Amino acid sequence: MNVAFVSITAISLVLMAIKSPESAFPTMIEGVRGAIELSFKLCAIYAVWLSVLKMVEATALDKKLSKLLRPVVCKIFKNESDEAYDKICVNLAANMFGMGGVATPAGIKAMSAMSDGSDRATGNMIMLLVINATSIQLIPATVIALRASANSQSPSDVILPTLISSGIATLCGTILCKVFSLKKSKN
């Protein structure tokens, strides 16, 4: 795959330099400028949501949220420690509110708390990975912020389609994870 990518890039650069060298470099510079601007916007969004998460932790709102999500989490993730349940709840709540980058540290801590010390992922760890990958999003805050920064007329129009698609994806992922877990336990 690396060879294919490098080959395509090299051929494209050569053709671009031969065909119209006067427009090649301004186009590349414009692309780099756009990438840097997007990086700064994403860093700002990440900083805001990380601050919100710290305030949530400082006000013990994460504990209250954990109590709210705990019955569902206990049914999905069986036989875990209280620490693991708390971290899973914070991770899932952050993902539900579209704070994907902020949810990552809590997800890593949850994975560490669920680890049995071996090099293999447990069934609960796989389930958390699937739920994180599909992630039901009640409010896709990062997407809304990116759409607003791109001067979208109505950046929040993505809420309902995101909720529907992420809900279906999470349901399908969870069902498949359970099916494969049951199949593995039979073998």
Q: Which two tokens stand for residue 111?
A: 């994975």
On the question of pLDDT at 130 being above 90, the answer is yes
Separation CA 25–CA 28 (nearest Å): 5
On the question of pLDDT at 45 being above 90, the answer is no
pTM for this entry: 0.70
**pLDDT for 29-38, tens place per residue?**
888 898 898 8
**pLDDT for 136-161, tens place per residue?**
888 787 788 888 888 889 988 998 99
Name the residue among 129, 87, 134, 133 with its Cα closest to residue 109. 87
Residues 19-23 have a mean pLDDT of 79
Question: Tokens 């990086």 label which residue?
Answer: 39
Separation CA 61–CA 92 (nearest Å): 14
Give the contacts of 92 (CB within 8 A, at least 6 positions apart). 69, 73, 103, 131
Residue 13: other Cβ atoms inside 10 A? 12
In sequence order, what DSSP letters do the residues of 81-128 get, joined into one string?
A: -HHHHHHHHHHHHHHHTT-HHHHHHHHHHHHHHH--SSSSPPHHHHHH
Separation CA 77–CA 125 (nearest Å): 9
